[in-house]
Structure 1
Amino acid sequence: MNKRIGFKAGGALALSLTLGLGFTAPAAWAQTDDFDSTRNKIEMAMQGATRTPAEIARDDIERRPVETLEFFGLRDDMQVLELVPGAGWYTKILAPTLRGSGKLYVAIGTDTVAERVLNEPGFDEVEVLNLPDGMTLRELAPFEFEVEDLDMVLTFRNLHNMNAESRAHLNDAIFNSLRSGGLYGVKDHTRRHLEPDNRENGRRLDPVLVIKEIQDAGFELVDFSDLHASVADDLTLEVGHESVTGRTDRFTLLFRKP
């Protein structure tokens, strides 16, 4: 396959990367399973009583959960691990969708979601996976998750909080937790390709670097999506700046364990 990816450099789509020259990608991702039942469950979860008006307001404009989870290949009978769930924006959608047929695990930075969400009705099947004592997202040593043969691992805007060494340890642990054929979905804020660290880009990541790091852990790049691309963001400002917050350019990547 000769798949071309365009990533912003400067204010335009100036970097065109041909997979197969620097990267190895498998045949095009084909989602053959029927998504209709899963879509229905996601849409019902989006109307759940635990979701706040502020969370619902982000559905269509910013986060597009139906389209995002369909791209990642979610099915309602999967064993799924969500990393760094924060206050539970995606947990509130994933848990009801998987309840009964699949299973949701959460790991790393789970205190808030455990306190505010997991004790609510309908979230009792979600299981928290704990890191080894003393380990944090920013300082990960080699470790393993307390589960194997997962179908999917998802992380939304979290990898930028880690240094390269911690990301490598995390990617290794994710690889080992997935079954053969398991999927790894990543979304994060875009940094200009090859741009050195500066005061504005600390919470951004070069998507080409992310692809290389995850492939180094043994994954195959399956596909990419421009679902969360944003012309409002020229990649020069800190992601919390008032002119781009909630509208940052974000890359969306899907990987598979061979």
Structure 2
Amino acid sequence: MKLPALLITSLLAGSAFASDFEATEAKIKAAMKSDIRVEADTKRDRNRMPVQTLKFLGLRDDMKVIELLPGGGWYTKILAPVLKENGELHLAYGTSRAAKLAEANDSMSEVKLAAKEANIYRKEGARFYSIENAEIDVKKADMVLTFRNYHNFAEDGRQAMNDAAWNSLKVGGIYGVVDHTRRHMEGENDENRRRFDPVKAIKEIQAAGFEFVDYSDLHYRADDELEYEVGRKSVTGNTDRFTLKFKKVKK
């Protein structure tokens, strides 16, 4: 029986896509075993699932990637060695701790800092952060990523971050956002300040011009009742998180 040409093409394309990730996956797994990662990092691998998460978002080792708000560098320690040879990794906003790591470790030696003039601050009386000079001095990036940071910002800060991501990406570039889940339309309280409504995130990022591509249930946790602060002992390390993928489809 002959297979239709279109089906054959589709199968071959799917096979090529899968094999295309194999080299990147091998580099991710090697980075996960690096001495730069301390026990506190490796303990979170099972929960954060970096291989599966980065595969879903479409990472390849030859991409130009911007990581927003790298914090202590949990993902930076993985992304930097993966992209070191064939790609680029740029860090933007709140980069001081990750920058020190990069200076001290050869596997992160090619990491570049962007948006050095950006200022993250809280307006008087505000609970969440804003960003001044948010524009990122990197253009035609393949991917912008941010992990568990979206919830930290006020509406103007989120808008500035989304606009900066849009301006830095090439057409077809991917914007990946992961954060702790808040109940839809729930008002702010002392327990949910480090959570965010995924529906609201999707609407805001679409408003910045992005096309919503897909979501992943990799970090769905049925036993997180979405009721308690993410740092509580009953929740920490097991929070329900949304994993969203967007694309810049036009200039």
Q: Is the TM value for this pair above 0.5?
A: yes
- Cα pair distance change 1:155/1:205, threshold 3 Å: same
CA deviation map 1:27-83 (0-9, x unaligned): xxx8963210100010011111101112111112x1100000000000000000011
Q: Do structure 1's residue 124 and structure 2's residue 109 form an aligned pair? A: yes
Amino acid at match of 1:78: M
Q: Is the 8 A contact 1:225 1:251 kept in 2?
A: yes
Tell me which residue corresponds to 2:54: 69
Give matches, 1:202-217, under 5 Å.
202-217=193-208
Tell me which residue corresponds to 2:45: 59
Alpha-carbon offset, residue 87 of structure 1: 1.0
Query: TM-score scaled to structure 2, two decimals?
Result: 0.87
Amino acid at match of 1:174: A
Tell me which residue corresponds to 1:147: 138
Tell me which residue corresponds to 1:195: 186
Amino acid at match of 1:208: V
Tell me which residue corresponds to 1:252: 243
Q: What CA distance in whole angstroms lies between the structure 1 residues aligned with 2:41 and 2:134?
A: 33
Q: Is the 8 A contact 2:179 2:242 kept in 1?
A: yes
Tell me which residue corresponds to 1:177: 168
Aligned-residue identity in percent: 51
Q: Is the 8 A contact 1:108 1:136 kept in 2?
A: no
Q: What CA distance in whole angstroms lies between the structure 2 residues aligned with 1:124 and 1:235?
A: 39
Alpha-carbon offset, residue 224 of structure 1: 0.3
Q: Which runs of 5 or more structure 1 residues have no equivalent in the other structure?
A: 1-29
Over the aligned positions, Cα root-mean-square deviation in angstroms equals 1.6
Tell me which residue corresponds to 2:90: 105
Tell me which residue corresponds to 1:13: none
Q: Is the 8 A contact 2:101 2:108 kept in 1?
A: no
Q: Do structure 1's residue 90 and structure 2's residue 75 form an aligned pair? A: yes
When the two structures are aligned, how many residues end up with a matched partner? 228
Tell me which residue corresponds to 2:33: 47
Q: Is the 8 A contact 1:31 1:73 kept in 2?
A: no
Structure number with greater CO (CA < 8 Å, separation at least 6) is: 1
Amino acid at match of 2:245: L
- Cα pair distance change 1:142/1:31, threshold 3 Å: farther
Secondary structure of 2:172 counterpart? strand
Q: Which runs of 5 or more structure 2 residues have no equivalent in the other structure?
A: 1-13, 123-128
Tell me which residue corresponds to 1:9: none
CA deviation map 1:89-136 (0-9, x unaligned): 101100110111000001111111112344211211100113425444
Alpha-carbon offset, residue 163 of structure 1: 0.7
Q: Is the 8 A contact 1:184 1:255 kept in 2?
A: yes
Amino acid at match of 1:52: V
- Cα pair distance change 1:32/1:159, threshold 3 Å: farther
Secondary structure of 1:201 counterpart? coil
Amino acid at match of 2:242: F
Query: TM-score scaled to structure 1, two decimals?
Result: 0.85
Equivalent residue for 1:38, pick from 9, 18, 24 = 24
Q: What CA distance in whole angstroms lies between the structure 1 residues aligned with 2:139 and 2:15?
A: 23
Tell me which residue corresponds to 2:151: 160
Q: What CA distance in whole angstroms lies between the structure 1 residues aligned with 2:117 and 2:217?
A: 36
Q: What CA distance in whole angstroms lies between the structure 2 residues aligned with 1:156 and 1:69?
A: 11
Amino acid at match of 1:253: L
Amino acid at match of 1:83: L
Q: Is the 8 A contact 2:119 2:133 kept in 1?
A: no
Q: Is the 8 A contact 1:157 1:189 kept in 2?
A: yes
